[in-house]
Amino acid sequence: MKKLVVTMLLVAATATTAHAGLRVVGKGDAMRLDPTSFPPAMKANYEIVRVKCVKCHTLERTIVAIQTGVAPISGQPFDRNATKAYGIKMLRKPDSNMNKAEVKASVELMNYLLTEAEK
């Protein structure tokens, strides 16, 4: 009986991990991430992304890219190289209003989310 309970607990724990992924709230243009389970540093980074990135595009685009591993517009792989390239692209956009520290925080968040999405 004891073995059965332990086994069931292990299965339940595994199932929970398998469905962890990204916790997403809302749909379409209103799509957001649920940052409650983020580490404190990533929560701060998410605030930057939530405020700055939506000037030009919805968070749905970022979330879909992370979930699928493919940038939805270019069709290019969305991996750690891509997150930095997109960050630099936004940094160099004259009207993006993002400084280097904010871009660095955004790239770190996207890399963290990629790791989480792979779990």
**Where do contacts with another protein occur on this chain (CB under 8 A)?**
55-57, 72-76, 84-85, 87-89, 91-97, 100, 103-104, 107
Separation of alpha carbons 111 and 104, rounded Å: 11
Minimum gap (Å) between residue 113 Cβ and another protein: 17
**For residues 93 and 119, which CB has a smaller minimum distance to another protein in the complex?**
93
Minimum gap (Å) between residue 33 Cβ and another protein: 21
Q: Is 86 exposed, middle or buried (0-12, 13-18, 19+ CB in 10 A)?
A: buried
**For residues 100 and 119, which CB has a smaller minimum distance to another protein in the complex?**
100
Alpha helix positions (H), 1-99: 2-18, 40-52, 59-68, 80-92
**For residues 95 and 118, which CB has a smaller minimum distance to another protein in the complex?**
95
Query: Do the Cβ atoms of 18 and 24 come closer than 8 Å?
Result: no
